[in-house]
Amino acid sequence: MATVRVYSTAFCPYCVMAKRLLDGKGVAYEEIRVDQDLERRDEMMQLSGRRTVPQIFVGQTHVGGFDDLSALDRAGGLDPLLAANA
C-alpha cells in the first residue's frame, strides 16, 4: 500500500471527508495534526505551498486538499497513484 500522509486539524470537515474517502478505499495513512505541532504545520506549508488543511500526499506526490483528492478519485486517477506508490 502507498505511503499516504494527511496533514489535518481537529475540527476540519474537509479533513474528515478526506479521511473517510481514504478509509472507504482501505488506505492506511499517517495523520499529522498540524494544530498540535507547529513545526509540522511549517513542514506542510513548505512541502505544499499551502496554508489550508487537509493537505494530502501519496508518496512524494502532493495531491492537494479534499476537493483535489475527490476530483482525482472521480477521474479514476487515485487508484493508479496509490498502486504506483505501493
Distance CA 71, CA 83 (A): 17
- For the domain 4-84, what is the CATH code? 3.40.30.10
Question: pLDDT tens per residue, the chain (86 residues)?
Answer: 569 999 999 999 999 999 999 999 999 999 999 999 999 999 999 999 999 999 999 999 999 999 999 999 999 999 999 999 87
Domain ranges (residues) in the chain = 4-84
pLDDT given at position 86: 77
Quick check: 56 and 6 in contact, CB under 8 A?
Answer: yes
pLDDT given at position 1: 52
pTM: 0.94
Residue 86 corresponds to which cell in the numbers above?
Answer: 505501493
Quick check: 9 and 31 in contact, CB under 8 A?
Answer: no
